[in-house]
């Protein structure tokens, strides 16, 4: 009974929610140089492709947009490049 009371008190709820928030990883898009390097694309995943096919100041975004019988459908669009280009 003591464990049940501890789990339902407001004093326990706030630290637990903070811990869960810190454990959640932010959704970030990874960057590749060629679209052929994308082997598996999950539903909702976004990958930035820097292959020079978009106009200056933009980068191609490949995302898994819809589930089909043959797998995840890829959509491609040019979006504004955020931040500076990093050299590798």
- What share of the chain has pLDDT > 90, as a percent? 45
pLDDT tens digits for 7-16?
Answer: 555 555 556 5
Domain ranges of the chain: 26-80
Confidence band (pLDDT; 50, 70, 90) for 23? very low
Query: How many C-beta atoms lie closer than 10 Å to residue 14's C-beta?
Result: 10
Q: What is the Cα–Cα distance from 30 to 19, expressed in whole angstroms?
A: 26
- What share of the chain has pLDDT > 70, as a percent? 61
Element (H, E) at 21: helix 10-23
23 or 55, which is more confident: 55
């Amino acid at each position: 009974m003591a464990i049940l009371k501890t789990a339902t008190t407001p004093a326990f709820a706030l630290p637990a929610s903070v811990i869960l928030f810190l454990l959640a990883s932010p959704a970030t898009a990874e960057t590749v140089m060629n679209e052929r390097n994308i082997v598996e694309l999950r539903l909702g995943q976004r990958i930035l492709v820097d292959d020079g096919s978009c106009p200056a100041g933009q980068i191609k975004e490949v995302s898994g947009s819809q589930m089909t019988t043959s797998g995840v459908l890829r959509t491609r669009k040019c979006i504004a490049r955020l931040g500076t280009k990093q050299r590798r």
